[in-house]
Structure formats: structure tokens, C-alpha cells
Amino acid sequence: MSGLIAAFLTSFAMTLLIIRFKHLHLHFTADSDLFGPQKFHKTVVPRIGGMSIAAGLFAAILIKTLDLGIGNTELILLLCAIPTFAIGLTEDLTKKISVRQRLLFTAVSAACAIYLLGIEITSLGIPFLDFLFAIPFFGIVFTIVAITGLANAYNIIDGFNGLSSMVGIITLLAIAYIGYVLGDTTIIFLSLVMAGAILGFFIWNYPLGLIFLGDGGAYLIGFWIAALSIWLCARHPEVSPWFALLINGYPIMETLFTIYRRRIHQGKSPGMPDGIHFHTLIYRRILQAKHFDSALSANARTAPYLWLLAGLSITPAVLWWKSTSILIAACALFIISYLWIYTRIVKFKTPRWMHL
């Protein structure tokens, strides 16, 4: 509990300081692009919220490290996260880091987690596919791709105030709950301290958008959640591998559908920004017209729709975390639901209940 409190208070205080003294750093920390396809803010805002989350993690893990001594797993995971956070923060400060470079550094973080902590996918829970993991290095490569992909996914869904940060908090609490059921204090601690650190930032980000998460924060959260999701399954074979997939269903689906839409449907690079993400459609087709007099109001009202969407995959993952067959069925149902709602919005046939 002391770690959770330390993470929250440190993140909260640092975010306050960043906002209070933004006049000293805004010239190089601000998101000053107000007209891009994925930009929905009207004023210049600092985008280094990831620094607060990293500071919260560091404070919480430092306290535990001093109690237990150097070499504990919590500190090692934090060290593994440094490359992905550093490259994301560098992008926030310079605006000159490509997606490929960010993915490369995140892959380094993933490789470190595999080597130092054994965070590796070794099974999919499907006998006729599990033979692939007998191929040398297949599991390692698959794990690196999975962790890197989810880290990037959190950056993709970070489009509106409070969106990715609250999805991250909900996911981490779900992981912590399963860790509690299994009596895994390491998973519980690492999940809760990250949730606390994110909450310290979230209070300042939602609903007013006084500070943004930035690439550093998004990649750090995505990496952390990916590592814990996989590690939970690796430490406890009774947890279905599909739990790790379904609990992250929303960001994963958003990323895969974005790749399909850009590469296959539009013939463009998946790394190019566009304005037709799920969250963007909800903002433009449902909320912007209703709250045309207040862009801030429409922005803040967008995230809850996606929190609920994320809940459609997180809830069954928590309820049936042991059952591969049920989780596979839930994955299929979530994919169908996502595509159905997305298609209805695109065709201007948004379900009535979404206009409430």
C-alpha cells in the first residue's frame, strides 16, 4: 500500500509542478500542433506527462528496493522499461523520432525483460499451434512483437483526454485482481504502483487536458501492461494465454484494424496519422455536433465511450481467466462488436443508444 501511495503522490506532485511552471519549459515540451488529423486541443499544452508516471514508478520501487535490497524483480522491470520510455520522451521533446525508431527501442526493452525476467510467451493454449514454440527463438520473437505492438497501441489510442490513461488503469486493476486471486504479490505490486502513478497524472489530464501523456507516457504504460500480462501467464500456467490477449482487446484491435485500414484499404504506410480511428469517429460523428460550442466538452465526453468498449473485453477476461475456449469466444465476440459499431458510425447509422 505504501508503494501505491508513493506512486500516486509523486506523480500527482510532479504533474502539478510541470503545469505550474510550464512557462519555463513550454517552448520545448509543448504539443503546439493544433491542426493535425489527430489533434483536438485548442491551446498549447505540455506533453511530458510520462515523466510524472515514470517518477511515480521510480519512487514506489525505490522504497521497496531499499527495504528488500538491490536485485529485486521490480527494479529490474523498471530498468527494462528505460529504453522505451527514453525514446518516447525524446520524441516528446524533439518531435524528430520516427515510429520505426520508437519500435526498435521498445523491442530492446522487451528483449531485456525476456532475458532478465523470463517474460516470454511459451504457449497459445491451442495444441495445433503450440508446436511453433518448439522452433528456436520463435517464442522470443513472438513476445518481442507482442510487447512492442501493445506499447505502440497505447500510443495510438492516446487521442483524447483521459482515454488511454484510464484504459490503462482499468487493465492494471484487472491484472492486480487476478494476481490477488493467485497470491502473486509481485504482480499485485507492479500493477498497483503503475495504476497509482497513472492516476496521479490522470487527475490533471481529465477532463480539462492541462497536460498530455505524450509518447513517453503512452509507450511506458503499454510496455508495462504488456509485460505484466505476459508475465502473469508465464508465472501461473493455469492462467490462459488468451487472458493476456483479451484483457488488452481494445488497444490491440484498434492497432490491427488501423494497420489493415491504412495498408490494405488505403495503400498507405501504417505509421502515417489519420483521422478515422474509432475514438476520432465518436468525437466527430457523435459528440462534436452535439457539443459544437465547446471542443473541450466534446473531447472530455469521448473517452468514456472507449472506456466502456475496453470493458467489453476486460470483463470476460477477468471472469473466465482460466478457460481458453470461453476467452477465444469472447475475443471473437469483441471483434465482431468492434467492427459492427465502427461500420455503423462510418455509414452514419450510429446506434441510438450511443447518442445518449
- Spatial distance between the Cα atoms of 192 and 180, rounded to a whole number of angstroms: 11
User: For the segment 127-158, what is each residue's pLDDT rounded down to a tens digit?
Assistant: 888 899 888 899 999 999 999 999 999 999 99
pLDDT number for residue 292: 52
Residues annotated in a binding site? 155, 215
- pLDDT confidence band for 115 (50 / 70 / 90): very high
User: For the segment 152-189, what is each residue's pLDDT rounded down to a tens digit?
Assistant: 999 999 999 999 999 999 999 999 999 999 999 999 99
pLDDT number for residue 3: 85
pLDDT number for residue 97: 95
| Residue 315 vs residue 268, higher pLDDT | 315
pTM: 0.93
Res 347 pLDDT > 60: yes
pLDDT, mean of residues 239-250:
98
pLDDT number for residue 1: 74
Overall domain count for the chain = 1
pLDDT, mean of residues 286-307:
80
User: For the segment 55-101, what is each residue's pLDDT rounded down to a tens digit?
Assistant: 999 999 999 888 776 558 999 999 999 999 999 999 999 999 999 99
Query: Mean of the per-residue pLDDT values for the chain?
Result: 91
The boundaries of the domain holding residue 72 are 2-355
Cα end-to-end distance, the chain, whole Å? 38
Residues annotated in a binding site for Mg(2+)? 155, 215
User: For the segment 188-233, what is each residue's pLDDT rounded down to a tens digit?
Assistant: 999 999 999 999 999 999 999 999 999 999 999 999 999 999 999 9
pLDDT number for residue 41: 46
pLDDT number for residue 356: 63
Res 320 pLDDT > 80: yes
User: For the segment 83-94, what is each residue's pLDDT rounded down to a tens digit?
Assistant: 999 999 999 999
